Amino acid sequence: MQRTHDLIVIGAGSAGLTAAGGCGQFGLKVALVEKGPMGGDCLNTGCVPSKALITAARRAQEMRENAKYGIADTEPKIDFHAVHAHVQRAIASIAVDDSQERFEEEFGVEVIRGEAKIIDGSTIEVNGRTLKAPRICLAIGSKPFVPPVGGLADIPYLTNETIFDLTERPEHLLVMGGGPIGMEMAQSFRRLGSRVTVIQRGKAMDKDDPEAAAIVVGRFQAEGVDIREDTEVKAVSKTDSGIAVETDGGDTILASHVLVATGRTCDFAGFGLENAGIEWSPRGITVDAKRRTTNKKVYAIGDCRVGPRFTHASGYEGSLVVLQVALGLGGKADYTALPWVTYSDPELAQVGMTEAQAREKFGEKAEVTRRDFSHNDRARAENDTGGFLKIIRKGKTILGATIVGPHAGELLLPWSLAIGGKANAFAIGGAIVPYPTRSDISKQAGYGVWEPTIFGSWPKRWARFRAKYLL
Ligand SMILES: Cc1cc2nc3c(=O)[nH]c(=O)nc-3n(C[C@H](O)[C@H](O)[C@H](O)COP(=O)(O)OP(=O)(O)OC[C@H]3O[C@@H](n4cnc5c(N)ncnc54)[C@H](O)[C@@H]3O)c2cc1C
Ligand SMILES: NC(=O)c1ccc[n+]([C@@H]2O[C@H](COP(=O)([O-])OP(=O)(O)OC[C@H]3O[C@@H](n4cnc5c(N)ncnc54)[C@H](O)[C@@H]3O)[C@@H](O)[C@H]2O)c1
């Protein structure tokens, strides 16, 4: 059979849209197959609805905390139907960018709505049609991992796929898992008026810097979120008054709703990966640095492969596929400067290595330069001085940065560039930064890295010499 397309992309989430749109823009004949709504998890059940909900929740919380600015505190009146409508509006406004019409009209991609199956390494089937291309790109995502907890299958638990459909506020939301999904949702629902309990197996936000995570956890507790760390759910059961959740510590918590946010998994049984010799496990599809599967003509990008699961990682890998397929260029994934942000309040932002990772790799050669927002004039003027910036480095080489505080995610960029070698602490420390901004904390930290050198013995000797003989 002749090729029908130059590239077949399966999955129209952040990863697949980028790969298909980019190759389409280069004039390749691209098929993009999607079985659900365009935009995938990020648009419909992930980043977008969660950030919209977080915004509504923050507005509510600000009303409760106004007195410190001389404005009376007020308990907000929350119309949960209207909050739901706001979340749906946010999805609708971004959906235009991910729409079938746009990909067809702007990028010349053939969008096919249906469930694809792999026939072999260059052939797929969808809606009874057979498509053939020299390259296939799998961008088929992941799904919520539901742990084998007794009784869970018998209760109507929520996941990220259903929680944004709620039009009534949960009375008491029990969140299983203190990762980014669990934490972002826990604070949002608490601020919108629910009672919230988080059950976390180890420490909450366990992939992040523990000192930064502790600041976030402290804030949650101050707002009334009941966080139970080092605790596991043993069993759940439905009772007349709600859902009884038994913990391994012997407590029973009565909740109205349970959100399962215990990580992601993959189940590609029946999709046909074995027909193309593609290896996978529940952790994802096996890939190399170029995101090629064990069948070198088939790529797997974004959440469906083993690796970090973020929208920006999916988009980045989509663009690597465009480089390789359309232009025949390199395309190895480099995550030395991978950033991630948990949009709790305060935000927790990380790029590159955490302090613990750097210490494990470099021992005493790993150093930390830290600046607290309590010394940042904008934070002081705003009476919101919690949090810090930590630069993790080896000598003057920047390995990572951790920021916790308001807008932390917006402050990462100079450090991403520094880790990638496109900026450095000296340049950041010497930049003219508008006063008063929170980003001044980066200048202070950059300067801090160089301060001992600038005021070292040689510059001082030179200054004394100048003062004595040349002034
Ligand atoms: C609640 C939540 C909040 C999040 N917040 C953030 C955030 O703030 N920032 C961030 O960076 N990341 C965030 N993420 C993670 C982010 O959403 C994902 O990393 C990203 O959406 C993955 O994109 P993807 O394209 O790889 O997969 P997906 O978006 O899952 O897309 C896969 C697509 O493939 C389709 N598909 C699957 N099988 C087939 C088939 N056989 N045939 C046809 N189509 C198929 C699916 O229908 C789906 O549309 C969040 C996730 C969740 C759950
Ligand atoms: N802001 C963001 O970038 C953002 C936001 C939400 C989600 N995401 C992405 O979505 C994915 C899923 O997020 P997540 O929070 O579900 O996963 P996660 O794996 O990051 O966190 C899940 C947590 O649940 C805990 N856990 C697992 N089983 C448990 C059990 N039985 N009882 C109690 N705790 C248990 C784990 O120890 C872990 O800390 C992640 O890959 C993340 O990158 C990103």
CATH number, residue 446:
3.30.390.30
Same domain, 135 and 164: no
φ/ψ of residue 348, rounded to 5: -120, 120
pLDDT tens, residue by residue, 393-445: 999 999 999 999 999 999 999 999 999 999 999 999 999 999 999 999 999 99
Neighbours of 381 (CB within 10 A): 10
Mean pLDDT of 94-121: 98
pLDDT tens, residue by residue, 299-338: 999 999 999 999 999 999 999 999 999 999 988 999 999 9
Query: Which stretches does DSSP call E strand in 375-421?
Result: 388-394, 397-405
161 is in an annotated binding site: no
Mean pLDDT of 155-175: 98
pTM of structure: 0.97
Same domain, 168 and 222: yes
Sort strands 172-176 and 257-260 into parallel, antiparallel or unpaired: parallel
- For residue 41, the CA-to-ligand 1 centroid distance in Å is 3
178 is in an annotated binding site: yes
Residue at which a domain ends, from 262, 287, 319: 262
Mean pLDDT of 114-124: 98
Neighbours of 110 (CB within 10 A): 17
Cβ-contact 60, 192 below 8 angstroms: yes
Instruction: Give the Cα separation of 311 and 44 in Å (integer).
Output: 13
Q: Please say if the pLDDT value at position 30 is more than 90.
A: yes
160-164, long-range: CB within 8 Å, 24+ apart, which pairs? 160/41, 160/45, 160/46, 160/50, 160/261, 161/45, 163/259, 164/45, 164/49, 164/50, 164/53, 164/84, 164/87
Same domain, 290 and 247: no
Q: Measured from the CB, is residue 354 less than 6 Å from ligand 2?
A: no
- Reference 39, options 9, 14, 60, 64; nearest CA is 14
Same domain, 372 and 240: no
In 3-state terms, what secondary structure has residue 23? helix
pLDDT tens, residue by residue, 332-352: 999 999 999 999 999 999 999
pLDDT at residue 470 in the model: 97
Same domain, 181 and 298: no
Neighbours of 377 (CB within 10 A): 12
Residues 6+ apart with CB under 8 A from 337: 351, 352, 416, 419, 420
Assess: ipTM above 0.95: yes
Pocket-forming residues, ligand 1, beta carbon under 6 Å:
10-16, 33-36, 40-42, 46-47, 50, 115-116, 139-141, 160, 181, 271, 302-303, 309-312, 314, 343
pLDDT at residue 311 in the model: 98
pLDDT at residue 1 in the model: 81
Same domain, 131 and 176: no
121 is in an annotated binding site: no
Same domain, 254 and 174: yes
Q: Is residue 72 part of a domain?
A: no
Q: What is the domain-level CATH number for residue 112?
A: 3.50.50.60
pLDDT tens, residue by residue, 218-264: 999 999 999 999 999 999 999 999 999 999 999 999 999 999 999 99
pLDDT at residue 331 in the model: 83
Which of the listed residues 197, 198, 201, 231 should we mutate to test ligand 2's pocket, taking the one with most ligand atoms within 8 A of CB? 201
Same domain, 352 and 382: yes
Same domain, 137 and 277: yes
Percent of the chain with pLDDT over 70: 100
Cis peptide before 147 (omega within 30 of 0): no
> Which residue range is the domain that position 408 belongs to?
339-454
Instruction: Give the Cα separation of 347 and 215 in Å (integer).
Output: 10
Strands of the sheet containing 123-126, edge to edge, are: 117-120, 123-126, 129-132
Q: Is residue 130 part of a domain?
A: yes
Percent of the chain with pLDDT over 90: 99
